[in-house]
Amino acid sequence: MEARRGKSALEKPLDLKKSTMEMILEVESGDGSLWSCVFGWTTPMDLRYRRCSRRVVSNLMWIGGGPGGGDGSRRREVKGLEEVEEEGWKDREWSILAKSLRAPLMEVLMTPAGTLHQSPSRLHFLKPCHNFVNSTFKFKPQHLYTSRNRSRTQLPPPLTLINCKLKSSGEVMKQNASKKIELWNSAPPLSEEAEKNGGSGKEEDPVKAGSGSSAVSRSVKKLSRKVLSLLSNLPLAIGEMFVIAALMALGTVIDQGETPEYYFQNYPEESPSYGFITWRWVLALGFDHIWKFMDSPEAVRKQDFSETLPQASVQDLGVILMGSGYEVFLKGPRLYAFKGLVGRYTPIGVHLAMLLIMVGATLSATGSFRGSVTVPQGLNFVVGDVLGPSGFLSFPTEAFSTEVHVNKFSMDYYESGETDWSISALQVVKDGEGPFNLPMAPLKVNGDKKLYGTILPVGSIDAPNVKGISMLARDLQSIVLYDQEGKFVGVRRPNSKLPIEIDGMKIIIEDAIGSSGLELKTDPGVPVVYSGFGALMLTTCISILSHAQIWALQDGTSLVIGGKSNRAKGEFEGQINRMLDQVPELVESSSSSVTKQSKDMVAAASFTDPSARPS
């Protein structure tokens, strides 16, 4: 009896691009037809497949397995494999079985890591290839019994296993091309994954690989994939962001950058240190698969926005979409269109810009120099003396040996005279001698005003009470002079050069010298950080633009359309509706193929090549 294999719209072929190995089970069903079912497995990390496979394996085990093991509550007594029962199976149940059997297997069924368990009665359905299987793969039966209790009553009786072939994917492709199975009408859609048949298998063949170095490389690959999937976990990222926010909030409450004694005083234990640096992981926004055609009406209908047009053709839709500015890709009955590609990739740009900022901040923290100096007017200082390194990457540059000369210190005043400054010295000429620079010191006064004072000692300095002429300055404009007894003598302006007689001395106030306090800093990370800032601003701007994708599928005479947009969801629906209104409705007066297709259903129409007609 010829076994035929085909695909329906409900069942999806395997993604053999990803699978490393394949197993084909050919089973003979109760009514004598031969089914061949293909199993392939992909990498262990693919969780979607794992869920499927439990059900698959449970079906298989239930079919072929005996009592014992697992949770006894859900088992059902099954007959031995050699017996084949005819119970009047409907096509529908076969379809369910076939579909579930086609789902790709995972390591749950065949994994290099598990252990093979005993009781041959459980696994005897695989007897013909038992040694084959046993040599390279092991089983993990403890998973096998934990499936959900799903529609057990519908499952078929045990099948007779005809043979079991292990194939690499290349051979399978050749086989699949020749086998087709006609299927039924209206099996309900179960949750399925998009699997693609075709494509080449992986380069290495794990069967031949055996052990040794390739096992190591496989485990490394497994580990790196595990790490990557762990890192790109979205809830993890959200949790990390919460932690960052909470730590920052804490940081404003606790004073930063003080000496340890301050903290020992105020808080009994250690405090977060100044300027901690946090890292974030890059969130991959699903750009490992950029886009692909959607292969079934159900998947298309699962989109945010979907619609079915009863009499339409996909080419018309493509033309209309192109007119509206979409990029359209048409392949057979399938269509994919997008608009605004930039809106899809800017979130990546945003995260890259943030990484750039962090790199720059690290550079700043480790490679910068800081220092501050107060220099009176007219004096020099060498840049390099003043700065101190702040991190292990601080390298002094040539600029450090420059000498800076303070030419002038001047202040612009408002009418109210409010600014911040300090007076460094008073330059006086005494009796024609000088000029002398008398340093001025700030005096403590109540209130906001500042007062600077200096004294010109008269007489011997070593005397116990040094008397002298005091000069006070509230600002650089006027100096108030007092004599030795502290009596007020007069006020002079520094630039007037008017002499004043005090105690027999002629004093000319030449100048009141302000000193400028300078803070110096060199920071190698600043250009990087600024470029990061610019990139962040730009990409955040752009990411407001929306990106829309549309899938469409020609389903017999009707057209199934689905689409999604990541920003302007409300307007997107309106736009799509307007465009769909423009798609012309096809009025088919005579086409026998149309009626035939509508009878033979969904399956063949979508995927098989046009030459194959269901019989």
Residues that bind other proteins (CB under 8 A): 234, 237-238, 241-242, 244-245, 248-249, 251-252, 256-257, 274-275, 283, 285, 361, 364, 370, 414, 416, 418-420, 519, 521, 523, 526, 529-530, 533, 536-537, 540-541, 544, 567-570
In 61-183, beta strands by DSSP E:
160-167
Q: Which of 368, 303, 332 is nearest to 564 (CA)?
A: 303
Minimum distance of other proteins from residue 245's CB (angstroms) = 4
Name the strand (E) or helix (H) holding 350.
Answer: helix 342-367
Minimum distance of other proteins from residue 442's CB (angstroms) = 20
Instruction: List residues bridging with 468 in a β-sheet.
Output: 457
Residue 29's CB is within 10 A of a number of other CB atoms, namely: 18
Q: Contact 15/172 with Cβ under 8 angstroms?
A: no
The residue among 231 and 537 lying less far from other proteins, judged by its C-beta, is 537
The residue among 359 and 361 lying less far from other proteins, judged by its C-beta, is 361
Q: Contact 565/341 with Cβ under 8 angstroms?
A: no
The residue among 230 and 244 lying less far from other proteins, judged by its C-beta, is 244
The residue among 242 and 264 lying less far from other proteins, judged by its C-beta, is 242
The residue among 432 and 570 lying less far from other proteins, judged by its C-beta, is 570
Joined together, the tokens standing for residue 326 give: 């979409």
Burial of 85-108, coded b for 16+ CB within 10 Å and e otherwise, reads eeeebeeebbbbbbbbbbbbbbbb
Burial class (CB in 10 A: 0-12, 13-18, 19+), 228: middle
Minimum distance of other proteins from residue 304's CB (angstroms) = 8
Residue 456's CB is within 10 A of a number of other CB atoms, namely: 18
The residue among 245 and 382 lying less far from other proteins, judged by its C-beta, is 245
Instruction: List residues bridging with 499 in a β-sheet.
Output: 508
Instruction: List residues bridging with 515 in a β-sheet.
Output: 376
Judged by DSSP in three states, 441 sits in strand
The residue among 248 and 322 lying less far from other proteins, judged by its C-beta, is 248
Joined together, the tokens standing for residue 494 give: 């520094």
Minimum distance of other proteins from residue 369's CB (angstroms) = 12
Q: Contact 441/453 with Cβ under 8 angstroms?
A: yes
The residue among 260 and 570 lying less far from other proteins, judged by its C-beta, is 570
Joined together, the tokens standing for residue 609 give: 């090549």
Minimum distance of other proteins from residue 538's CB (angstroms) = 10
Minimum distance of other proteins from residue 132's CB (angstroms) = 43
Minimum distance of other proteins from residue 238's CB (angstroms) = 5
Minimum distance of other proteins from residue 390's CB (angstroms) = 11
